[in-house]
Chains A and B, each alone.
Chain A
């Protein structure tokens, strides 16, 4: 009987607010230690929390986007534990009554559509940071991050294996950025995932004992960690051992997970409703306002791209990887007026390759959809070759300007004049008698070499279709 890997993902998405969940301190990243830790964030005696409206609206936006139920009355609770980066000795978090219940995330894996259900999404505040560099054997505490609003998004344990878990996490990552609730920056910790991993025999009904893996700060690590952990559990069970429920830390250096907390400190968080905060009530009016402001969602848009532009599911998936990409594509199609397939090929090919190379984002791409459309129109009407088009694009990226200007200035127009091409063909045949003979004796390969020579002689400008026609005619 085969083993099955079952994964549930808990994600902490930092909500894109200017100020903290319960204080007016800035949430900007990278400030000097404790300069963005207000009295509330460092838990001075006597200070009190007041909830940030934007954080609540962003949480609701997420709930609506995943078709979850918005809890019209949710409760902030206190999760009590001692840790130096937790100044109050408790974290304010929603416990029994989260703001979002249920919902689903849709994504594609190997061209197949998957739907994963969400358990809940709740509002909470982040903790500070412990810096373990040596301060004479002490640890330094920076509370700038303390109190930053988080949305904890919990999936049902129904992801099968590392690949599917990563596909889910990527889709969720894309979604939170798509709807503008989180900047998705994983290096800065704006999007953090923990994976609950268990294994079971395929025919077993219930779930196996799970371990929670923390510190998965990239999708690559997530995949490695889940794979390692699943293997560890299977080996343990096959050796007649038992999996112990525990929190494990992924060590990317060693590519393994290791136990994080000792059992001696079994946690008892003593949750209870925070008496400093009142029930969070969401009025109907606010709900409908947020619903109206919601953009077309990625899965809907992906399906529309397949339908409307006759794209493959794969291409449509790439083009809806972000809202900026999808917006770029639609602007490109509209401006170019050429086959959407050509637009898709260029955006997922040349454009994305250069963006990668230059480490730039499509949102800040120096070549606007209108500029790129100029190139695609000239490919489509035969003015330039595909190769020349790439040259035009490179120039455009560096110096700007319209496609037509660049084509004229750099003389990249294809030679389509029949007389000129014929002259070139004659010259090539004269200089390559051997190849011509090979062709005539049946070596089809020689023909391509001849076309290549014509193109070379024209410095790439000859219309390759016309050149081939002329060659065949002459070679008779």
Chain B
């Protein structure tokens, strides 16, 4: 049961072959067994989860169940949940209990899903390894010495280790797709504006999007159907008709034009990653899809652009953590300014402080034009590359990350080494595009490799369709990590 997809679980619940209570108990037991090692969760509220499950079963008994009613889910601890801690993996919010629910949480609540717990993450979503959490690093279920990627490493690990059938994550520069790739699960970053950011604690507002992490493309589609939709409380939420993604998965591969940017197949990619991705390209070609060689000449500038824009926005977004209205406040201080300075020095970890300082610098007097404004201009160049590319192809294919999972501690000393992990995931959010990662094989060490598909704005159905067709013909996505057998 723990290895079943959402679609299968939904069918089992509908056929009364299982109950939400049984399913939720199974998940809680597995969390109990595995999470001491993996550290994927910050908060697990068993009583609440079981209560949710009972309510879902009652709702189903009344004939009022949707497809996700009774399905236990794990949420990244950056989404506000009323009455539960929402920590963002930070000491700053370690004791913060949100007085309200994020839009995404409200939606899953309305759908009757069960809230299993809140997932560990890089502090304030700043990281690519889930090592910067105040609550300790998350471990990769394929090899506990390795990182699961980040920042949604807890969510990806929860799904990969079968502790939760599916989870939510958030993606600013790759934080859903990269950990999905490194843990062998699927993750989708939706088009900017498709999922409301209301209640998502902001890291970089012009880039942040919440999205689903699951075992299959179909599961992502089922999750996205609930998450996506207009929300008047978010000015950047786009008002467009609701789509039934799970009903649109039958993509005709014969008419599909797949773009292969040469920049995504160049230097610096591990051979095992390259091999698996090229194998997938051959499979699509064999199904009749055409492939188009492309150039995204400015994509290589994505990392520097991102490391100006995201810290700039973060430096401002994280100013509200000042010890006045909620969160950590220093115990001792000389005066008001000292209270601010100590509160923030104590409450934030190294990576967060570093990014706030970079962001403060690039916005400061005399440097704004050279860094921030210039980064915004190059951001447009990157977006234009994609516009041109999507005149020639329907989706862009490449590796999600240049390497498979790396050792805990391997990249913590040099921030730039860490940042380069996101080289392929950063361009999509800069351009606001949807992109997903699905497993496409394993490297010689037996570690999962992620395949990334990027589409034009609001082309989620096509991306999910292509991934679904691939998964109908492969079982990479159903492999269970050897360290966490069922």
Contact = CB atoms under 8 A, between A and B. Distances in A.
A78 interface: yes
Given A82-B340, A272-B316, A39 B100 contact: yes
A44 B236 contact: no
Contacts of A51: 235
A48 B320 contact: no
B233 interface: yes
Contacts of B313: 275
A154 to B, nearest CB: 21
Most buried by B among A48, A88, A141: A48
Contacts of A42: 325
A216 B184 CA distance: 65
B205 interface: yes
A44 B100 contact: yes
Interface in A27-75: 39, 42-51
Contact of B360 (A47, A270, A276): A270
B201 to A, nearest CB: 4
Nearest to A266: B365
A84 B88 contact: no
B326 A44 contact: yes
A80 interface: yes
Contacts of A277: 235
B316 A45 contact: no
A244 to B, nearest CB: 19
A443 B475 CA distance: 127
Contact of A270 (B99, B234, B363): B363
Given A44-B100, A84-B324, A49 B319 contact: no
B405 to A, nearest CB: 30
Contacts of A43: 320, 325
Most buried by B among A268, A270, A278: A270
Contacts of A84: 322, 324, 336
A89 B343 CA distance: 14
Interface string A263-290: 0000010111001111000000000000
A87 interface: yes
Nearest to B124: A45
B91 to A, nearest CB: 14
A276 B99 CA distance: 21
Contacts of B205: 275-276
Interface string B302-327: 00000000001101101111101110
A90 interface: yes
Interface residues of B, number: 45
B235 A49 contact: yes
Contacts of A141: 324
A57 to B, nearest CB: 17
Contact of A89 (B197, B322, B336): B322
B232 A80 contact: no
A225 to B, nearest CB: 27
A271 B368 CA distance: 9
B98 interface: yes
Nearest to B325: A42
Given A89-B316, A270-B364, A48 B234 contact: yes
A57 B49 CA distance: 47
B233 A48 contact: yes
Most buried by A among B204, B232, B319: B319
A90 B198 contact: no
B198 A46 contact: yes
Contact of B312 (A44, A268, A272): A272
Nearest to B93: A45
B200 interface: yes
Interface in A125-169: 141
A48 B235 contact: yes
Contacts of A87: 320, 324-325
A276 B319 contact: no
Nearest to B206: A275
B125 to A, nearest CB: 12
Contacts of B441: none
Nearest to B102: A46
A42 B325 CA distance: 7
Contacts, number: 99
Contacts of B206: 275
Nearest to B344: A82
Contacts of B201: 45-46
B198 A47 contact: yes
B325 A45 contact: no
Interface residues of A, number: 28
B198 A268 contact: no
Nearest to A78: B316
Contacts of A89: 316, 318-320, 322
Nearest to A143: B325
B198 A88 contact: no
B142 interface: no
A268 B363 CA distance: 9
Contacts of B326: 44-45
B368 A272 contact: yes
Contact of A278 (B79, B233, B235, B364): B235
A90 B312 CA distance: 13
A325 B419 CA distance: 67
Contacts of B200: 46
Interface in A292-349: none
Most buried by B among A46, A90, A278: A46
B153 to A, nearest CB: 20
A377 B168 CA distance: 80
A456 to B, nearest CB: 73
A270 B316 contact: yes
Contacts of A46: 79-80, 86, 98, 102, 197-202
A357 to B, nearest CB: 47
Interface string B205-245: 11000000000000000000000000011111000000000
Given A45-B93, A48-B235, A272 B320 contact: no
B233 A50 contact: yes
Contacts of B96: 45
B372 interface: yes
Contacts of B336: 84
B198 A276 contact: no
Interface string B86-105: 10100001001011101000
Contacts of A278: 235-236
Contacts of B202: 45-46, 276
Most buried by A among B318, B321, B363: B363
B383 to A, nearest CB: 15
Contacts of B322: 82, 84, 89
Nearest to A90: B316
Interface string A376-399: 000000000000000000000000
Contacts of B86: 45-46
Nearest to B200: A46
Contact of A45 (B80, B234, B324, B368): B80
A88 B320 contact: yes
A88 B93 CA distance: 16
B372 A272 contact: yes
Contacts of A78: 316
Interface in A4-47: 39, 42-47
Given A88-B320, A276-B202, 14 more contacts: A39-B100, A44-B325, A45-B93, A45-B96, A45-B202, A49-B235, A50-B233, A80-B319, A82-B319, A268-B365, A270-B365, A275-B205, A275-B236, A276-B236
Give the 10 A-B residue pairs with the shortest CB-CB distance, closest first.
A89-B319, A275-B206, A270-B363, A275-B205, A45-B201, A46-B199, A43-B320, A46-B201, A46-B80, A268-B365
23 contacts: A42-B325, A43-B320, A44-B98, A45-B80, A45-B93, A46-B198, A46-B201, A47-B233, A50-B232, A84-B324, A87-B325, A88-B320, A89-B316, A89-B320, A90-B316, A270-B315, A270-B316, A270-B365, A275-B204, A276-B202, A276-B236, A277-B235, A278-B235
Interface of A: 39, 42-51, 78, 80, 82, 84, 87-90, 141, 268, 270-272, 275-278
